[in-house]
Amino acid sequence: MSGSVLSLEGKALKSVLSLEGKALKLNTRADIEPWLANVDPTKIEEIHFRDNTLGVDASLALAEFLEKTTILKIADFADIFTGRLISEIPLALTAICDALKDKTSLVELNLSDNAFRSVEPMVPFLTHNRTFQVLKLNNCGLGPAAGVVLATALLESAKLSKAEGKTSSLRTVICERNCLEDDSASAWADAFAAHGTLQEVRMADNKIGVDGITALARGLSQCPQLQHIDLQDNMFTSPFTADTDLSGIQAWTEALKSWPELTTLNLSDCRLSADGEVPTIITALVAGSNPKLHTLQLQNNDLMTETFLALASGVSKMSNLMLLEVQWNNTEDDYEILETLALHLKQRGGKLIATDDDADEEDAEDADDAEV
């Protein structure tokens, strides 16, 4: 019994150990060892254990296998603790993370969809492995306190690299649906600024408010190579104050010029407009602040006619924009404006999505492309 498969990518034969989606309950060494038998760890480049559940003894056996790897690039351990006791998860997680701590070949670690009760087991890896590039922590139930612990570990990593005269290797942080809130956003901002090498940051649905959004703008402005930003479903203005606080909007407007390589910006569900005014972020974008922007997502932001007019009149300066999503705004009376905007994008091979019907059509086109 073995989960090892060989896959062909281009002309290179890649060795992959995958149990993904098998829904195995691996409690003991005896449970996991048949899946590791006859697999040479020194030849494994990727390991995928997503959608199985590992106990402590099985994790210790897996850790011993991981310690023997020499060219491992991708470690996917998303959703591996379903149904586990609170007391089991830290021990299992410690075994796995410690085994990866010194892997200089590792490029990506995915620990998404794991309900961590403690993030301390990740700290040694995040602090001392300074060659990995991609960190995925979606939907882990972190909360603000755990968010601070992880961000502080990443900050320490950046400081250690700097002390050694080395540039950070970190390129991608995906940490969505974790309720990080304002209380940890400042710590993440400090970590991002210290690394300065990020190209992709996704922090959607984290209940971050104006103070946290402002801090993130400050931190991410120190990352000039950013290409992809997703902050969907966080608040850029507050609905809970008598006078609208625009500091988050202003901070991000100022930060836009820091990202000349930006291609994707998702600010949907971010309360960009409190009283129907044109967000200054939009004003900056249509003035050409980010000439490489390809995808702009602005759904459900209470945007009104003036904003759509600004987009229609400025789309020519956004010469690389190919996908604009504005559904669930106040578009009922703006058919002609949206039609003009759609025509501009269509002429360059792009697309405007302004209704659910447009989105369904886009999904259908994507499905057709996939079939081809």
In this prediction, residue 369 carries a pLDDT of 57
Residue 196 tokens read as: 């300065």
Give domain status of residue 296, yes or no: no
Total number of domains in the chain: 1
pLDDT digits (tens, 9 = 90+) for 255-265: 999 999 999 99
Whole-number Å distance between alpha carbons of 93 and 234: 29
Q: Is pLDDT above 90 for 276?
A: no
Q: Is pLDDT above 70 for 240?
A: no
Contact 173, 195 (CB under 8 A): no
Question: Please, which residues bridge with residue 75 across strands?
Answer: 47, 109
The stretch 199-204 carries a mean pLDDT of: 98
Q: In the Cβ-directed half-sphere of 67, how many Cα atoms lie within 13 Å?
A: 10
Residue 30 tokens read as: 């005896």
Give domain status of residue 281, yes or no: no
Whole-number Å distance between alpha carbons of 273 and 234: 13
Mean of per-residue pLDDT scores for the chain: 93
> By C-alpha distance, which of 163, 220, 170, 161 is closest to 190?
220
Residue 239 pLDDT level (bands cut at 50, 70, 90): confident
Which residue has 């990202």 as its token pair?
259
Q: Is pLDDT above 80 for 108?
A: yes
In this prediction, residue 330 carries a pLDDT of 87
Degrees (nearest 5) of the Cα angle 314, 318, 323? Answer: 105
Give domain status of residue 168, yes or no: no
- Range of lowest pLDDT (9-18, 61-70, 148-157, 291-300): 9-18
In this prediction, residue 1 carries a pLDDT of 59
Give domain status of residue 256, yes or no: no
In this prediction, residue 371 carries a pLDDT of 54
Give domain status of residue 319, yes or no: no
Q: Where are the alpha helices (DSSP H) in 315-355?
A: 335-347
CATH number, domain of 92, equals 3.80.10.10
pLDDT digits (tens, 9 = 90+) for 33-47: 999 999 999 999 999
Residue 234 tokens read as: 């966080």
- Domain range for 26 is 1-128
The stretch 222-234 carries a mean pLDDT of: 98
- pLDDT above 70 as % of the chain: 92
Give domain status of residue 66, yes or no: yes
Q: Is pLDDT above 50 for 355?
A: yes
In this prediction, residue 9 carries a pLDDT of 42
Distances (CA, A) of 5 to 8, 36, 38, 54, 65: 10, 12, 12, 21, 16
Distances (CA, A) of 308 to 273, 305, 342: 12, 5, 11
Give domain status of residue 18, yes or no: yes
Residue 340 main-chain phi, psi, to 5 deg: -60, -45
The pTM of this model reads 0.93
**Which residues fall within 8 angstroms of residue 361, CB to CB, at 6 or more apart?**
none
In this prediction, residue 7 carries a pLDDT of 47
Length of the chain counted residue by residue: 372
Which residue has 């302004």 as its token pair?
354
Give domain status of residue 115, yes or no: yes
The count of other CB atoms within 10 Å of the CB of residue 103 is: 21
